[in-house]
Amino acid sequence: MKKFERFEGVVAPLDRANVDTDLIIPKQFLKSIKRTGFGVNLFDELRYLDEGQPGQDCSQRPLNPDFVLNQPRFKGAEVLLARRNFGCGSSREHAPWALEDFGFKVVIAPSFADIFYNNSFKNGILLITFPEDVIDRLFAEVDANEGYQLDVDLENQRVITPSGEILEFEVDEFRKHCLLEGLDDIGLTLKDEDAIRAFEQKHKAARPWLFRQSA
Amino acid sequence: MSGQTLYDKLWNQHLVKQRDDGTALIYIDRQLLHEVTSPQAFEGLRLANRKPWRLDANLATPDHNVPTTIKERAEGNSGIKDPVSLIQVQTLDDNCLEYGIEEFKINDPRQGIVHVVGPEQGATLPGMTVVCGDSHTATHGAFGALAHGIGTSEVEHVMATQCLLAQKMKNMQVRVEGELGLGVTAKDVVLAIIGKIGTAGGTGYAIEFAGSAIASLSMEGRMTVCNMAIEAGARVGLIAVDDTTIDYLGKRPFAPTAEQWEAAVADWRNLVSDDDAQFDKVVTLQAEEIEPQVSWGTSPEMVTGISGQVPDPSAALDETVQRSHTRALEYMGLHANQKITDIKLDKIFIGSCTNSRIEDLREAAKVAKGKKVADSIKLAMVVPGSGLVKRQAEAEGLDKIFIEAGFEWREPGCSMCLAMNADKLGAGEHCASTSNRNFEGRQGYGGRTHLVSPAMAAAAAIAGHFVDVRSLPANDATHAQEA
């Protein structure tokens, strides 16, 4: 995982509540056995006017001109501004893979679904939660100012608007650390290998029925 | 000091290490694998030169991509016409072979939807932690197991370390008190709960379902309820262990036997919330007030009773909700104040990890018996949850009832719940579906899903539009809670 560094990025607004992971990446693209290449199909059903197929050349497909990511002013956006309960539904990690592959580094919303929240941090995407009134204000500012950018500073847990306003956010320490250092969870967990083995022995002695002879 | 909730107990029994930063390592007893969310996890292991920590904790079966037509299934993997789907199923087979993980392959009679197979085999036991790269893993909580859906990075993490990095959730109790009316099923209960608390109502919580109406449900019904906890935002749904749980598990292939069975049962009896346990939130519903439910929109919270109507978006108090409702009606091709019973259907889908177990098929068959699917219905299909469910249904003659009524009787898999295989809706088609998600495009590009119980789906198939299953003649009416 790449280290998460402070950056200033264009903000794209997706003004819709309960954006589910089916909408982020429709099921036909889940057939891939790779982790990469999902970006061209991010929000496929909103973004294109036809039905997408895996492996298709998307440059030839008709774009939906009304969809926010197709508008020139949001080209190259790295911050997605969204509404409540973003990422609900299926556990597919293809959703953050698609967001990341498209170029998003940050999603800002009033709330996120739990599984999506975990999956995003494991792929280097920072999710920031602000109260509804702050989100409303950001939507209005993005709408009013072409080229609107936010300065995202994870180290100091703050977002700085073009007018210099500082918005502080919460993020748990462990996730922050992993993002800033670009750390792999598995390597960290395996440092506790002895603790896991000790627990396993005790667990097996107490509840042997949870362990089955290998078939 | 107050007592512990069921969730607290399960958490404490599996806590390997609590870190100072609030995260914890939780030991995982069972991991279920399917073809869609595992290939990248196996690839990750391979690249890092890691081995699975404990092979016997894993059990795999392909379900999302498998064809359900009898002819194609007879050909095994080569019956999968879509080359991309074929690669995914083949990759699961190859990975399981390479690492030595037990797999029920495409034509094994034990194959099926992971969330049907686990419990059916006794591979899901009370007191276990169960994970799967699938959000409907909450299903297994019906057994007093701590089960939740995880992403692919977590699948890899569990394979490599037998642990999950987790943060403790808050405790919510949803009580359903009283007695369910005739024709009102577990599906209606859970849809009513989601309608009440919303699709984010359970975010950050483990939900324990309790109360007399929940206790009276069969294991199949309990699985239906826990299955859809995620549709209320909760990764975890739970129901306390009782005689119903223990009776279901006796003699299942993976369940303990002899003295171990006795010891296990004694241990499982403790898997209930203590009387003085404190919940962070409690929600109560009255069973008598729940009628058969039908979703009208594009989120499971957009649901109402069969006697209800499609809401008027302008009546919503919140602007975001107004916009969501307007957009949903547009997508669904419905208008404000339209009666639910006036919604006409094109297709009927009875299946999915929510409602494809034997009891579900029995309920639907009771309604379909001696009737014919309406001419206006283009396709009505019944997809059993596993090969063993299919076999049981055939032994009871349910397949004949469905076929005579004009339903297609299929082979097990996820099928049209998410339409990764060939079973899907066409644009604009309305479907009465026993599945769990009515999101835009979920069952096919432009498809319009209405979530209902198996009995309601069967009744809609016969009538061509939604009808109140309770209004059918007495000899046909479903006696859900008797099954």
* DSSP states along B332-374: HT--TT-BGGG-B-SEEEE-TTTS-SHHHHHHHHHHHTT----
Q: What is the mean pLDDT of residues B393-406?
A: 98
As a whole number, the mean pLDDT across chain B is 96
Chain B neighbors of A26, CB-CB under 8 A: 441, 445
Contacts B246 to A, Cβ<8 Å: none
Q: What pLDDT was estimated at residue B473? A: 80
Strand ranges, E, within chain A = 7-13, 79-81, 106-109, 126-129, 149-153, 158-160, 166-168
- Domain ranges in chain A are 7-187
pLDDT digits (tens, 9 = 90+) for B182-226: 999 999 999 999 999 999 999 999 999 999 999 999 999 999 999
pTM score:
0.95
pLDDT at A214: 43
Q: Which pLDDT does position A11 carry in this prediction?
A: 98
Q: Hey, of B18, B84, B299, which one would you mutate to test binding to chain A, going by the most A CBs within 10 A of its CB?
A: B84
Q: Which of A45, A122, A211 sits opposite B441 (nearest CB)?
A: A45
CB contact under 8 A, B235 and A114: yes
Which residue in chain B is spatially nearest to A185 when comparing CA positions?
B157
Q: pLDDT for B119-136, tens place per residue?
A: 999 999 999 999 999 999
Contacts of A20 in chain B (CB under 8 A): 299, 437, 439
Amino acid A2: pLDDT: 86
Tokens of residue B479, six digits: 């006696």
Digit-coded pLDDT (tens) for B296-331:
999 999 999 999 999 999 999 888 899 999 999 999
The answer to whether the CB of B380 falls within 8 A of the CB of B431 is no
Residue B483 has pLDDT above 50, yes or no: no
With a pLDDT cut of 90, the percent of chain A lying above it is: 95
Interface test with B, best of A1, A27, A48, A173 (most B CBs within 10 A): A27
At B305, phi and psi to the nearest 5? Answer: -75, 160
If you ran DSSP here, which 8-state letter would residue B112 be given?
B
Give the model confidence (pLDDT) of B237-266 as tens digits.
999 999 999 999 999 999 999 999 999 999
Q: Which residues of B touch A177 (CB under 8 A)?
A: 21
Q: How far is B396 from chain A (nearest CA, A)?
A: 31
- Residues whose CB falls within 8 Å of the CB of residue A95, separated by 6 or more in sequence, listed in order: A21, A24, A25, A87, A116, A119
In this predicted structure, the answer to whether residue B351 has a pLDDT above a threshold of 90 is yes
CB contact under 8 A, B27 and A90: no
Considering only CB atoms, which chain A residues are within 8 Å of B55? Answer: 214
Report the residue from B39, B100, B204 with minimal CB separation from A33: B39
CB–CB of B162 and A196 under 8 A? yes
Do B91 and A33 make contact, defined as CB atoms within 8 angstroms? yes
Chain B residue nearest residue A186, CA to CA: B157
Residue A64 in this model has a pLDDT that exceeds 70: yes
Cβ–Cβ contacts within 10 Å for residue B349, how many?
29
| Contact criterion met (CB below 8 Å) for A12 and A77 | yes
Mean pLDDT of A7-22: 97
> Of B200, B229, B199, nearest to B295 (Cα)?
B199
Chain B residues with CB under 8 Å of A190 CB are 160-161
Question: B243 and B214 in contact (C-beta within 8 Å)?
Answer: no
Share of chain B above pLDDT 70, in %: 98
Q: CB B153 to CB A115 under 8 A?
A: no
- For residue B335, the one-letter residue type is H
Rounded to whole angstroms, the Cα distance separating B325 from B341 reads 19
Flag if B163 and A35 touch (Cβ within 8 Å).
no
Q: How confident is the model at residue B334 (pLDDT cuts 50, 70, 90)?
A: very high
User: Per-residue confidence at B475, pLDDT binned at 50, 70, 90?
Assistant: very low
Number of cross-chain residue pairs from A and B with Cβ atoms under 8 Å apart: 201
Please say if the pLDDT value at position B481 is more than 50.
no
Q: Do B40 and A20 touch (CB under 8 A)?
A: no
Query: Are B445 and A55 in contact (CB < 8 Å)?
Result: no
**A136 interface with B at CB cutoff 8 Å:** no
pLDDT score for B478: 47
In the block, residue with structure tokens 């970006």: A39
Q: With an 8 Å Cβ cutoff, are B419 and A27 in contact?
A: yes
Distance from CA of B321 to the nearest CA of A (A): 8
Q: Considering chain A, what percentage of its residues have pLDDT values greater than 70?
A: 99
The correct answer on CATH 1.10.10.2520 for the domain covering A7-187 is no
Q: Choose among B366, B362, B347: nearest CA to B435.
A: B347
d(CA B468, CA A176): 52
Instruction: For residue A135, give Cα distances in angstroms to A82, B96, B304, B474.
Output: 8, 46, 30, 54
Evaluate whether B226 touches B187 at the Cβ level (below 8 Å): no
Question: What is the pLDDT, as a whole number, of residue A213?
Answer: 59
pLDDT value at residue B1: 64
Smallest CA–CA separation between A174 and chain B, in Å? Answer: 6
CA angle B115/B121/B124 to nearest 5° reads: 60
φ, ψ dihedrals at A106, nearest 5°: -140, 140
Q: How far is A113 from B429, CA to CA, in rounded Å?
A: 29
Indicate the average pLDDT of chain A: 96
Whether B81 and B72 have beta carbons less than 8 Å apart is answered as yes
CA B450 to chain centre: 16
What is the model's pLDDT at position B20? 85
Interface touch B437/A90, C-beta < 8 Å: yes
Distance from CA of A29 to the nearest CA of B (A): 9
Q: Does residue B284 carry a pLDDT above 80? A: yes
Q: Average pLDDT in the B438-446 region?
A: 96
Provide mean pLDDT across the span B155-173: 97
Q: Residue window 145-204, chain A: list those with CB within 8 Å of chain B.
A: 172-174, 177, 185-186, 189-190, 192-193, 195-196, 199-200, 203
CA distance B406 to chain A (A): 29
Tens-place pLDDT, residues A109-160: 999 999 999 999 999 999 999 999 999 999 999 999 999 999 999 999 999 9
> Within a 10 A sphere around the Cβ of A9, how many other Cβ atoms?
18
- Residue B336 and residue B311 in contact, taking contact as beta carbons nearer than 8 Å: yes
Please give the residue of chain B at the shortest CA–CA distance from A213: B56
Band of residue A190 on the pLDDT scale cut at 50, 70, 90: very high
